[in-house]
Amino acid sequence: MANKYQEELVFVPFGGVGEIGMNMAAYGFGPENNRKWIVLDCGVTFGGPNQPGIELIMADPSFLEDEAENVLGLILTHSHEDHYGAALDLWPSFDSPVYATPFTKAMIKAKRLGNNIDANLDVREMVQGKPFNLGPFTIEAINMAHSIPECNSILIKTPIGQALHTGDWKLDPHPVGSPPTDEKRLQKIGDHKLPLALICDSTNAKKEGISASEKDVAKNLEKIIKSAKHRVAVTTFASNIGRIISIARAAKKANRQVVLSGLSLHRVTTIARELGMLEGIEPFLDQDAYLHLPRNKLVLICTGSQGEQRAAVSRIARGVHPAIELNAGDMMIFSSWAIPGNEREVIDIQNQLIDKGVKLITNDDELVHVSGHPRIGELKNLYDWVKPDILIPVHGEAMHLEAHAKLGKAEGIKQVFSIRNGDMVRLFPNSEHPVAEIPVGELYLDGDILCTPKESGVRGRKRLSHGGMVSVSLCVNRRGEITSGPDIEILGLPMPQDGQEELEEVIEKAITGVLRSTSQKRLANIDKLKQSMNRAVRAEIRSYWGRKANVMLFLHAT
């Protein structure tokens, strides 16, 4: 057991280990009772059917808030929502800077201005390949290929050991619009004298081989767009600048102009053009130009690849977009994959497009999308290059983490730690797992309110979604006579069939039955009378409907 006065390097994830999304982790250095901390990433995940009304979920940083005076800064690996999306919500609570490369810095600024967010951050620019010091840590951002510009692995050095936190990555030798993964720098890390821990992306750890290249997708998009007879629409992740470049180049070769639809697409492409990432790509047209162009002379790039109801693709599919329509014979390419949990929404939109006679192309038909995460072959290459003493699989669900851990052990890595959110690992010296369990949880962004799941109204919303709502209000005098009401409102319950008694009548009978059977003495106790009425109304509704309803009964004495 380590001495509490001995310097240690520890790692603890708050999100992203046990799920895909909501990535947030911290590294601490120093003795147990006096550590300095750096935080890597501050991301979100998206609410699903079990969180009605909740759009965004993020890791609860309460532990870090308690250590706020020792938190030196937040380092963002890249600007995908699951890695930076919570920074403007959570980081203003900390009096320490954010470190990001120019593209991510510009994305934060654009997000703050576009969403009218008052909170601001002290964002400091970091340069790939140029280390900088942050307290006892030396930090270096290393370029990695991914599906967004300026994605980084972060090398963290301390006097007693170092960690390579990969972020999201792949080994694409031919990316579009961005340089390839810096293999030479990674190989040089393998010459390390200090022990090294690899904290590594596990998303595709169950998939054999090597990920396909963006160059291959670009060739296929060029072929498909060239062969199209009418309009071509493409939906992809707005942040995938390389894919947007490939679509624009394919459109130009097919003598077509490119139209953009979607605020996020305009925001990201404006940033990319300002940073010189779209050199040689002609300016994009706004959606107002769409209907003025011949059907065989345009390519539309639009948002909504994940089935978002307010995004362009969904509105086009439903026929409610104010400026864009697709007709029979037009083509829609889904140059994306459905994030787990979004499959049903995406399929519904695709079915609507097919019903319109639109030709649909997905990755099941042609190579129109590639993952930005490493497969088994790429993981093995990274192990060979950096030669880790410790492997910690992160960024994945349980099945991905387990597959990655199994691979690491098979490849001969000395220590492989299988952990989950809240597990603190001592990396160096005397590696141990776990040395502590940190309280972790989630925060919901409920409208404009950031709250815990318990504080949110989600539990009540779920009850309402299953049982509807019956509201009853009435006034009763001391003799047990109804002097006003009952006023009854029913929401979310089925309407009666022909010849079936109205539910309002059933409720009124239940109330009058309670009043008739209650003694004069008990009539004076309004609370007990209300309880009796509530039980009777619930019972009669259940007998009538066959299910439990949510009942709110307001009883007033006169």
537-541: list long-range contacts, CB under 8 Å, 24+ apart: 537/470, 537/472, 537/507, 537/510, 537/511, 539/510, 540/506, 540/507, 540/509, 540/510, 541/470, 541/493, 541/503, 541/506, 541/507
**Which of 71-85, 365-379, 437-451, 498-512 is predicted with the least confidence, judged by mean pLDDT?**
498-512
For residues 139 and 135, give the distance between their C-alpha atoms in angstroms, rounded to a whole number. Answer: 10
Output the six-digit token pair for 234.
């493409």
Please check the confidence at residue 267 and state whether its pLDDT lies above 80: yes
Please check the confidence at residue 94 and state whether its pLDDT lies above 60: yes
- When mean pLDDT is compared over 26-30, 460-464, 473-477, 480-484, the highest value belongs to 26-30
What letter does residue 544 receive in the DSSP assignment?
A: H
Please check the confidence at residue 333 and state whether its pLDDT lies above 90: yes
* pLDDT tens track for 483-515: 898 999 999 998 876 656 788 999 999 999 998
* pLDDT tens track for 184-243: 999 999 987 899 999 999 999 999 999 999 999 999 999 999 999 999 999 999 999 999
Three-state SS across 341-402? CCHHHHHHHHHHHHHCCCEEECCCCCCCCCCCCCCHHHHHHHHHHHCCCEEEEECEEHHHHH
Output the six-digit token pair for 347.
């399929």
For residues 336 and 495, give the distance between their C-alpha atoms in angstroms, rounded to a whole number. Answer: 42
Q: Which residues contact 488 (CB under 8 A, 6 or more apart)?
A: 470, 471, 472, 504, 507, 508
Pick the CATH number of 214-361 from 3.40.47.10, 3.40.50.10710, 3.40.50.620, 3.30.420.10: 3.40.50.10710
Between 1 and 454, the more confident residue is 454
Sign of CA dihedral 360, 361, 364, 369: negative
Domain 468-557 has CATH 3.40.640.10: no
**Nearest to residue 302, comparing CAs of 254, 335, 329, 327?**
335
Bridge partner list, 487: 473
pLDDT for the residue 307: 86
CATH of domain 8-209+371-451: 3.60.15.10
Alpha-carbon distances, residue 328 vs 34, 230, 294, 356, 362 (angstroms): 67, 9, 15, 6, 17
pLDDT for the residue 524: 80
H or E segment at 254?
none
Residue ranges of the domains in the chain? 8-209+371-451, 214-361, 468-557
Number of alpha carbons in the 13 Å side-chain half-sphere of residue 168: 26
Scored b (16 or more CB within 10 A) or e, 103-126 reads bbbbbbebbbeeeeeeeebebeeb
Confidence band of 15 (pLDDT split at 50, 70, 90):
very high
Give the alpha-carbon dihedral of 24, 29, 34, 37, to 10 degrees. Answer: -30
Beta strands across the sheet bearing 161-165: 132-134, 137-144, 151-158, 161-165, 196-201, 390-394, 415-416
The mean predicted confidence, pLDDT, of the chain is 93
**Are 325 and 260 within 8 A, CB to CB?**
no
Start-to-end CA span in the chain (Å): 71
Please check the confidence at residue 138 and state whether its pLDDT lies above 60: yes
* pLDDT tens track for 405-444: 999 999 999 999 999 999 999 999 999 998 999 999 999 9
**Are 31 and 8 within 8 A, CB to CB?**
yes
pLDDT for the residue 500: 63
How many whole angstroms from its chain centre is CA 125? 25
Confidence band of 31 (pLDDT split at 50, 70, 90):
very high
Please check the confidence at residue 149 and state whether its pLDDT lies above 80: yes
pLDDT for the residue 393: 98
**Are 475 and 558 within 8 A, CB to CB?**
yes
Please check the confidence at residue 1 and state whether its pLDDT lies above 70: no
- What whole-number percentage of the chain has pLDDT above 90? 80
How many CB atoms lie under 10 A from the CB of residue 483? 12
Alpha-carbon distances, residue 143 vs 336, 351, 379, 524 (angstroms): 23, 39, 16, 76
Confidence band of 5 (pLDDT split at 50, 70, 90):
low
Please check the confidence at residue 2 and state whether its pLDDT lies above 60: no
**Are 283 and 115 within 8 A, CB to CB?**
no
Please check the confidence at residue 475 and state whether its pLDDT lies above 80: yes
Q: Which residues contact 513 (CB under 8 A, 6 or more apart)?
A: 536
Please check the confidence at residue 481 and state whether its pLDDT lies above 70: yes
- What whole-number percentage of the chain has pLDDT above 70? 98
Bridge partner list, 471: 489, 552
pLDDT for the residue 53: 85
